[in-house]
Structure 1
Amino acid sequence: MRGLLATGFTAIGTGSAAMLTLHAGSDLDPLHSVISEYAFQSSGWLLPASLTLLAAGSALIAEALRRSGTDRWVVVLLLVWGASMFLVGAFPTDRPGVPLSLSGGIHRYAAFVAFLVMPVAGMLLARANVRFARAVRVLSGVALGALLLVVVPYVVRMFGIPLADQDIPAGLTQRAVVITELGVLALAGLSMLKPSARTSDRGVTPIMA
Structure 2
Amino acid sequence: MLTVEPAPTRSPARFVAFGGAFAVVLTVLMVGSLDAHRLATTAVGLRRTISEYALGPHRWVFDTAVALLALGSVAILAVLVRRGITKWSSGSALAFLTWSVGLALVVVFPKHNWAVGPSASGTIHRVASLVAFLSLPVAAMLLARPWREDAVWGGYARWTFRFGLLSALAFTPIVYAVLVNALVGTPWWRVLPLGYSERLLVVVEVAAVLVVAVWAIAVAQPSYRPSRTSR
TM-score by length of 1: 0.83
Percent identical among aligned pairs is 29
Count residues in correspondence.
195
**Counterpart position of 2:113:** 95
Q: 1:84, 1:114 within 8 Å by CA — same for their partners in 2? A: yes
User: 1:104 Cα shift?
Assistant: 0.7
Aligned positions of 1:126-165 closer than 5 A: 126-127=144-145, 128-129=147-148, 130=153, 131-159=155-183, 161-163=185-187, 165=189
Higher RCO (Cα < 8 Å, 6 or more apart): 2
Structure 2: which 5+ runs fail to align? 1-12, 222-231
2:62 counterpart residue number: 47
* Equivalent residue letter for 1:29: G
Q: What is the alpha-carbon distance in structure 2 between the residues aligned to residue 76 and residue 163 of structure 1?
A: 32
Which residue, 4, 14, 19 being the options, matches 1:7? Answer: 19
Which amino acid is 2:85 matched to? T
- Structure 2 counterparts to residues 37-116 of structure 1, below 5 A: 37-72=52-87, 73=90, 74-116=92-134
1:178 pairs, out of 184, 202, 205, with 202
**SS of residue matched to 1:123:** helix
- Asked if 2 retains the 8 angstrom alpha-carbon contact of 1:82 and 1:114, the reply is yes
RMSD after superposition: 2.1
Q: Give the Cα–Cα distance (whole angstroms) in 2 for the partners of residues 108 and 48 of structure 1.
A: 15
The question of whether the paired residues in 1 share the 8 Å contact of 2:49 and 2:194 is answered with: yes
Deviation at 1:190, TM superposition (A): 1.0
How far 1:133 sits from its partner (Å)?
Answer: 2.6
The one-letter code sitting in structure 1 at the alignment partner of 2:66 is L
Given the superposition, is the C-alpha separation of residues 136 and 155 from structure 1 closer, same or farther in structure 2, using an over 3 Å criterion? same
Gaps of 5+ in 1: 197-209
